[in-house]
Structure 1
Amino acid sequence: MTATVTATIDAAVSALKGGEIQWSRTDLAARRRLLEQIHANTARHAQEWIEAAARIKKLTADSPLLGEEWVSGPYSLLTGAAALAESLLALEQGHSPVDGYPMRPAPGGRTAVDVFPHGIFDALLLNGFRAEVWSRPGVDAESVRARAGLGQRTPTDTGGVGVVLGAGNIFSIAPLDVLYQLYADNRVVALKLNPITDPLLPVLEKIFAPMIERGFLRLITGGPEVGSALVNHPGVDAVHITGSALTHDAIVFGTGAEAEQNRAANTPKLTKPITSELGGVSPTIVVPGRWSRADLRFQAEHLATQRLHNNGYNCIAAQVAVVSADWPQKEQFLAELRAALGRAPQRPDYYPGSADRVAAARRTYPQAQAIGARTLIEGMAPDRHEPALHTEYFAPVLGVLELPGAPAEFLARAVRVCNEEIEGTLGANILAHPATIKRLGERFESAVAELRYGTIAINAWTGLGYLTARASWGAFPGHTLADIQSGIGVVHNALLIAEPERTVVRGPFRPAPRSLLHGEFSLSPKPPWFVTNRTGATTLRRLTDFATKPRIAALPGIFASALRG
């Protein structure tokens, strides 16, 4: 590493040390106003953000896939900043951030906090979708209320300088991680951008200018050597990474022989605290039932979206569909799944190594089917040596794992396999007919409680949990540095709930108007994030504009576009 780079890092950390003193002197009202400024700047520079994202991901200006960039970029930061500002206002006024949010007992002595919908606009825009954050076992509602606020309960007691190693796939991840370090952990931040996202630097500098000017944030670019120097700088107190378990382990234990020695001695090379969000292999459990032809087609498109959003370059992308070998409609569903994978818009492989990972999957599985640039692997078994259950391909590769059993037996077996045989605990999806859920009753709810995942989506995609600012996002608790799986800690969590265990998202099994015809009280049409949605880019751009200034006048345009999808 050059002397110039060393000097740059030293200067950044030194400035942040001074900024920490100023942060400790910044009261809650001033911290809230900073969030409001970031919100306004995000709105002002949203189009510039999207143009940079399109260049990075090689998308044309009229690509329908730009909807993904609107919703997982500016929209996510707008809603995250607004929700955090609301929590700080509650603390300013002497309240808990969760005051006014319904709570109820959840299985296993947990407490569930209803975090979505929050207000009439949420209920209208995503009608029929719900999300709740579950506490860990033994935590009652009063404890949740008393502890919510995290670092903002004692704002003068700061946490030093934190380093955020940014992700290169979803462009709101790094900005939201910065906000979590600042507000949940109450520390100033050096954000090291992933080199893929370097073209976004000018946009982020404009959005975060109020934080940068006051010494609360520094943005740094460079390769792995810069990240390593930052992480190991003596002036840095904590680290957060979004990435792969391999990168995490290299930071914590080193590489090569050094890593082997450190692991054997259980002596990490990194001695400062590190939190992480690391992805894994995410499953979608397809519970057998009596589905109409329209149901089969819709849920096949749903599963295709769970895999193909951002071309599969998502830590939460579904990689394994778990289906019943005894489901009479299994072959119909798989035929619809193949068709949905083929209908989805083709796109460039912008993420490094994607083609190599696809090729490796096809070499490993000679029976794999090439559907355009996508790969479908059927005939997998619940085996600890099944590569697709343990290797996050981070590419458009989807496997199908068949297990025996009618609904109750199949679901119990699927939960056990997901918990014990599949790598990672970030998120799991369940697709199930409402009649089947009703028939299973408590057995279905017990299965949800038994799944050890940080986000569980029922007839929805766990990606919606990522987009829900007040939901927690991270691995299921309990991982260690030596067995990191999907990471340690959470982010987002705009209500600043202390040590949440999981987020549970529920959605409608059918889109409107079919949902209404079948007794599901949901007005939501085909979700705009579906890769097969024809108007997704327009709808999600309008939704982002709405998030800049929520207002009734904007709703008709959003609804009109959504209904055409």
Structure 2
Amino acid sequence: MTPAAKASAPHASASAPHASEASDPGVVASGGNPSGAHPEVDAALAALGEGARIWSHLTLGQRGRLLERLHATVSAVAEEWADAASDLKGVPAGHPLRGEEWLGGPYAVLVSLRAYEQTLKTLQKGGNPLDGLRVDEAPTGGIRAHVFPAKPMDSLLLSGFSGEIWMAPGLTLDEVRATAGLGQRHPTAPGGVGLVLGAGNVTSIPVLDVLYELLANNRVALLKLNPTMDPLIPVFERALAPLIEPGLVRIVSGGPDVGEYLTAHPGIDHVHITGSATTFDAIVWGTGEEAERRRAEDSPQLTTPITSELGGVSPIIVVPGVWTDADLRFQAEHVVTMRLQNSGHNCVAAQVVLLSSEWPQREAFLGSLREAYAAAPARPVWYPRADEKLQAAASAYPDAEWFSDRTRALVHLDGGADASALEGTEYFSPVLGVIELPGLGQEFVDAAVAHANDKLTGSLGANVLIDPATQKALGDGFERAIADLRYGGIAINTWTAFNYLTPVLTWGGFPGGTLHDVGSGIGVVHNALLLAGVERSVARGPFRPFPRSLPTMIRTRSVSKGGLLPKPPWFVTSRTGSEVSEGFARYRMDGSLVRLAGTLAKAFRA
């Protein structure tokens, strides 16, 4: 049995009720009711109806204080949260990879709470979330807000990183400012009850989606957990206690029958799902012949409004330049991290490297990539049915290279090889592809952007690696190419996981998803500035880590232009990833500068 099969076996009975849930007012255990009725869920919805009334009576100040309480309860369970998530995914105690669960769990929620608090304080004072931010024109011709770094500590902890929100072309600055704040501009207007169908892979996703329902839309939330997250229920109960107590949130466990019951329930005013396009289509249209008939008649079975975040096949565009051996090694590890973090069970995971067939350093980069892919720490492929995805890749590409006891595949395609499976299947497991395209310089960049737009499924996130000299030589042509890249999240010399973890950026597919052709989803989440009309978020990072970033900082006379970290803690090759990620999270918990100094010292031993 493969590690993936071992990981998925226990989930066959994951929808069974938990004994501890029945007595807790915030959690409803609803597994497999044979009659099709779920009285416990109905009771939870009734409580949320009262909670919606309470929420509409809270002032912005009261809501801000509620977020402060949430910050305290999340902090109190943060260590248990990270440990439970690591254990769930089979990462042993003391392993550097446990840091992933600090960053992807409590850290992501803590920084989001602080960002939302700041937005509420600004609105309470009569200000606008865009106040104090540099706003200019994006290469698309629309409004661009430079939202990160927002504070000096951002520049210290994540030196060399920046983030921008590009608004939809045609919106004026006055129009953007007039709607900034979304639901919190009119806090007394009730938004009803939202159903959040939580993801099963990253533990912060369900909590962050609940927060967005409350703050962007004034909707109280019924959180239906994916069964893989059931071991985290006790943690979520305590973390969300300030929202559960007044009836603003309820947590429901159970299998697909519960989800089906809820999506058809008249007490639900809105549905948000993080998952796959297949699940989205089943909710909206049904399955089999019924779905085909409904599509043809344009008569969806779901009559409730729905938003979604659904993943896709994410590219890594490697722009040819003149790289040192150290650059080749570092960026190879960067690519491997984008694929292997969380065993590849990420909607944000990069899947296809777009590489120039004419790059003189092509072979050297491929050698570094193979070496890094093989040397990355072994880990369980834990997500249910991931073994089937690996077997599908093996069937589609029998010449693929396999590593780590056949738990990760590298598919290198050149010439006229059939790339349709690699480009059209989100493997959601350790499958990394390399597709070669002709050209150098601007010709290659334009070809890679067109390929990513036209050939790869989805539009959630795209990554671009380019050295400073090449980017300077391309000039406006490079920025024009980024404008042409139709993805909701773009990361230049970083990974789109940075977009996910940065709360003032938005997370979601490129605009244009519909019920008939949903792509990577409809709408955005996170978005702590609560901006309407967002087209995309763009993150930028340093091409070289410290100390090789020093020449850039000296040349630009700015520490913020170069990375101060020798290796980001989210790299799967970081020796101190667990310690540094935990340290960053604990700093967000208590603000201790003494503790932070020790964490930064450990970062230099990565």
TM-score, scaled to structure 1: 0.98
Residue 382 of structure 1 contacts residue 421 of structure 1 at CA under 8 Å; is this kept in 2? Answer: no
Match status 1:557 vs 2:598: yes
User: How far apart in 2 are the matches of 1:8 and 1:363?
Assistant: 45
1:514 corresponds in structure 2 to 548
1:50 corresponds in structure 2 to 82
1:437 corresponds in structure 2 to 471
Could you tell me which of 76, 96, 113 is aligned with 1:81? 113
1:95 corresponds in structure 2 to 127
Could you tell me which of 544, 568, 571 is aligned with 1:527? 568
User: How far apart in 1 are the matches of 2:416 and 2:110?
Assistant: 41
Residue 142 of structure 2 contacts residue 166 of structure 2 at CA under 8 Å; is this kept in 1? Answer: yes
Report the count of equivalent residues.
565
Structure 2 counterparts to residues 246-261 of structure 1, below 5 A:
246-261=278-293
After superposition, the C-alpha distances for 1:65-114 in whole angstroms (9 at most, x for unaligned) are: 11000001000000011100110111111111221122111122211111
Match status 1:352 vs 2:393: no
CA distance 1:472–1:111, change in 2 (3 Å)? same
Match status 1:322 vs 2:357: no
Q: CA deviation at 1:388?
A: 0.7
Q: CA deviation at 1:140?
A: 2.7
Q: CA deviation at 1:502?
A: 0.6
Q: CA deviation at 1:499?
A: 2.2
Residue 384 of structure 1 contacts residue 421 of structure 1 at CA under 8 Å; is this kept in 2? Answer: no
Q: CA deviation at 1:380?
A: 5.1
User: How far apart in 2 are the matches of 1:136 and 1:33?
Assistant: 33
User: How far apart in 2 are the matches of 1:474 and 1:28?
Assistant: 26
Three-state SS of the structure 2 residue aligned to 1:133 is: strand
User: How far apart in 1 are the matches of 2:454 and 2:417?
Assistant: 10
Q: CA deviation at 1:50?
A: 1.4
After superposition, the C-alpha distances for 1:362-405 in whole angstroms (9 at most, x for unaligned) are: 11011100022210001156899611101000000000010000
Match status 1:366 vs 2:398: yes
User: How far apart in 2 are the matches of 1:547 and 1:383?
Assistant: 48
Structure 2 counterparts to residues 161-560 of structure 1, below 5 A:
161-372=193-404, 373-379=407-413, 386-517=420-551, 519=555, 521-560=562-601
Amino acid across the alignment from 2:436: E
Q: Which moved more, 1:275-284 or 1:130-139?
A: 130-139
User: How far apart in 1 are the matches of 2:416 and 2:270?
Assistant: 38
Three-state SS of the structure 2 residue aligned to 1:447 is: helix
Residue 129 of structure 1 contacts residue 508 of structure 1 at CA under 8 Å; is this kept in 2? Answer: yes
CA distance 1:5–1:39, change in 2 (3 Å)? farther
Q: Which moved more, 1:405-414 or 1:110-119?
A: 110-119
User: How far apart in 2 are the matches of 1:367 and 1:342?
Assistant: 16
Amino acid across the alignment from 2:152: I
Q: Which moved more, 1:259-268 or 1:418-427?
A: 259-268
After superposition, the C-alpha distances for 1:398-438 in whole angstroms (9 at most, x for unaligned) are: 00010000111010011111111110000000001111000
Amino acid across the alignment from 1:312: G
TM-score, scaled to structure 2: 0.91
CA distance 1:381–1:546, change in 2 (3 Å)? farther
Amino acid across the alignment from 2:487: Y
Q: CA deviation at 1:17?
A: 0.9
Residue 587 of structure 2 contacts residue 593 of structure 2 at CA under 8 Å; is this kept in 1? Answer: no
Q: CA deviation at 1:562?
A: 0.7
Q: CA deviation at 1:356?
A: 1.4
User: How far apart in 2 are the matches of 1:75 and 1:492?
Assistant: 14
Residue 109 of structure 2 contacts residue 207 of structure 2 at CA under 8 Å; is this kept in 1? Answer: yes
User: How far apart in 1 are the matches of 2:281 and 2:529?
Assistant: 30
Tell me, which stretches of 5 or more residues in structure 1 are unaligned? Answer: none
User: How far apart in 1 are the matches of 2:418 and 2:37?
Assistant: 44
Q: CA deviation at 1:224?
A: 0.6
User: How far apart in 2 are the matches of 1:205 and 1:559?
Assistant: 32
Q: CA deviation at 1:472?
A: 0.5
Q: Which moved more, 1:96-105 or 1:288-297?
A: 96-105
User: How far apart in 2 are the matches of 1:556 and 1:179?
Assistant: 31
Amino acid across the alignment from 1:193: L
Match status 1:148 vs 2:180: yes
Match status 1:160 vs 2:192: yes
User: How far apart in 2 are the matches of 1:521 and 1:177?
Assistant: 33
Q: CA deviation at 1:129?
A: 0.5
Residue 320 of structure 1 contacts residue 400 of structure 1 at CA under 8 Å; is this kept in 2? Answer: yes
2:7 corresponds in structure 1 to none
User: How far apart in 1 are the matches of 2:546 and 2:303?
Assistant: 53
After superposition, the C-alpha distances for 1:426-475 in whole angstroms (9 at most, x for unaligned) are: 00000011110000001000000110000100000000000001100000
Q: CA deviation at 1:14?
A: 1.1
Q: Which moved more, 1:552-561 or 1:432-441?
A: 552-561
Amino acid across the alignment from 2:337: T
Residue 300 of structure 1 contacts residue 336 of structure 1 at CA under 8 Å; is this kept in 2? Answer: yes
Amino acid across the alignment from 2:605: R
Three-state SS of the structure 1 residue aligned to 2:96 is: coil
Q: CA deviation at 1:521?
A: 3.3
Three-state SS of the structure 1 residue aligned to 2:522 is: coil
CA distance 1:384–1:98, change in 2 (3 Å)? farther
Residue 184 of structure 2 contacts residue 215 of structure 2 at CA under 8 Å; is this kept in 1? Answer: yes
Residue 338 of structure 1 contacts residue 371 of structure 1 at CA under 8 Å; is this kept in 2? Answer: no
Q: CA deviation at 1:158?
A: 1.3
Three-state SS of the structure 1 residue aligned to 2:163 is: strand
Three-state SS of the structure 2 residue aligned to 1:556 is: helix
User: How far apart in 2 are the matches of 1:385 and 1:532?
Assistant: 29
Q: CA deviation at 1:555?
A: 2.8
Amino acid across the alignment from 2:230: D
User: How far apart in 2 are the matches of 1:303 and 1:257?
Assistant: 41
User: How far apart in 2 are the matches of 1:427 and 1:92?
Assistant: 34
Instruction: Percent identity, please.
Output: 52
Q: CA deviation at 1:19?
A: 1.0
User: How far apart in 1 are the matches of 2:131 and 2:178?
Assistant: 10
Three-state SS of the structure 2 residue aligned to 1:361 is: helix
CA distance 1:382–1:524, change in 2 (3 Å)? farther
Q: Which moved more, 1:261-270 or 1:170-179?
A: 261-270
User: How far apart in 1 are the matches of 2:112 and 2:470?
Assistant: 35
User: How far apart in 1 are the matches of 2:457 and 2:268?
Assistant: 31
CA distance 1:152–1:383, change in 2 (3 Å)? farther
Residue 70 of structure 1 contacts residue 541 of structure 1 at CA under 8 Å; is this kept in 2? Answer: yes
Q: Which moved more, 1:453-462 or 1:24-33?
A: 24-33
Q: CA deviation at 1:479?
A: 1.1
Q: CA deviation at 1:63?
A: 1.4
Amino acid across the alignment from 1:488: I
CA distance 1:381–1:474, change in 2 (3 Å)? farther
User: How far apart in 1 are the matches of 2:303 and 2:139?
Assistant: 37
Amino acid across the alignment from 1:511: P
Q: CA deviation at 1:267?
A: 1.3
